[in-house]
Every structure is written in C-alpha cells, then in structure tokens.
Amino acid sequence: MIVRAFVDPNPNPSHFEAWADTICEGLSELNVEVVKTSGLASGFIKSIEMSKAPYAIQLEHDFVFVKRRIDHSIDEILSGMERLGINYLKFNKRANRVRGYDHFMIPAGDERLPVCRINGRSNNPQVIEIDYYRRMVAPLLDPARKGASGIEGWICRQIGGGYVYGELGHPATTAHLDGRDIRWKDRIRRVLYKAASAERRAS
C-alpha cells in the first residue's frame, strides 16, 4: 500500500525537500510518496489521477481518526460502500446530527454498515470511489482554485451530497488537531496527540 502526501510548498517552495524528508522520517514504517502540488484542489486532483486502487482515503494533515469510535474494519467499510452504491463516505468531526453545513441527515445503510445520507461533501476525512471521482468530479475541479472552497463548495454545487459513517447520533469519528482557526478543545487535543505520538516513538 502506498501512502501519498500531497504538499503545497508555497509560500516557501525552497522548504519542500526538507518537509518531504520530515514526512518520510515520521512515517518510516509506511511506504510514503511525497508529491508537490500548487494547492488543495491541485493535490486532490492529483490524488485521484495517481490512485491505482478502486477506493482512496483522503485525509488532511491536521485530522486524525478516533479509532475507538469506528466499529468496522476498512475491508467492511469498502465492502459496504460497494454494496450500497456509496462513492463518498465522510468521517465526522462532530456527532451525527443536523448542524452547521449538514442541513439534513437521514439514516441509511443496512445492518452491516450504518450510514446517514447528507446534503454536502466536506473535506473532512473521507473514503471516495476513484472511478466515479475520476469520471465525474476531477473534470469539474480547477487546480488553480485555492483553499477548501475549491473542493467542498464546488463539488456540492455540481454533484450534490454523500454519506457519513455511523447512525444518527453516532459520536465524532475524527479529531481536528490544528487548522487556521484553532478552537480551545482542538488545541488541547493536538497537544495530547503530539505527546502520545512522541511517547510511542520513544518506546
């Protein structure tokens, strides 16, 4: 399995090689390939074009999964997505309920993979079906568009919503560690996560 890190080095392009080395060193147990991009949309498009698997996990650098709240293996999730015809499955950073940009949340799925139908496609951690995104989504994206709006809002306007993992009321399955607007709880979570990671590397 290849883990690809898509990095926009701007506004400090001279630092790209150092960042790439740091990423590879930090993930030395994985097969990592670092790809230079010109922004979020550019990296998203490249990830779709380069993927050789039927599905891909899209994960921004400042998100982590909350493993204890994910009750299915990746194989079970992918099998469920194929069975249910899901091409976008989001992992939520808050409990599954109508809030924020989630204007509706309708229980869906089956007894093997509970999910909810949602109106949008945010850039929260997600599993996407590569063939669908290669045919229907990538051609609509402009690699020059900057920021999350170049993916989130644009995709929602063009192809509509998707699904979120878990039943209605299921607790958050991801944590936002950093980002431009750091909330107090995110700051605490980031410090704790970095401390735990350092302890694991030292042991």
**Structure tokens belonging to residue 147:** 């920021």
Q: Is the pLDDT of residue 180 over 60?
A: no
Residue 7 lies in a domain: no
What 3-state DSSP class applies to 69?
Answer: helix
Residue that is written with structure tokens 């989001």 in the block: 90
Residue 106 lies in a domain: yes
Q: How high is the pLDDT of residue 149?
A: 65
Q: How high is the pLDDT of residue 199?
A: 74
Nearest one of 81, 9, 4, 80 to 48, comparing CA atoms: 4
Residue 40 lies in a domain: no
The pLDDT tens digits for 7-48 are 999 989 999 999 999 999 999 999 999 999 998 889 999 999
Residue 54 lies in a domain: no
Residue 117 lies in a domain: yes
Q: How far is CA 75 from CA 19, 70, 80, 127, 141, in A?
A: 32, 13, 8, 12, 29
The pLDDT tens digits for 151-179 are 876 787 788 899 999 999 999 999 988 65
The pLDDT tens digits for 51-73 are 999 999 999 988 999 999 999 99
Residue 159 lies in a domain: yes
Q: How far is CA 151 from CA 71, 89, 141, 155, 182, in A?
A: 28, 15, 7, 6, 21
What 3-state DSSP class applies to 149?
Answer: helix
Residue 105 lies in a domain: yes
β-pair type (88-90, 63-65):
unpaired
Q: How high is the pLDDT of residue 81?
A: 98
Q: Domain tally for the chain?
A: 1
Over the Cα atoms of the chain, what is R_g?
17
Range of the domain at 70: 60-126+144-202
Residue 23 lies in a domain: no
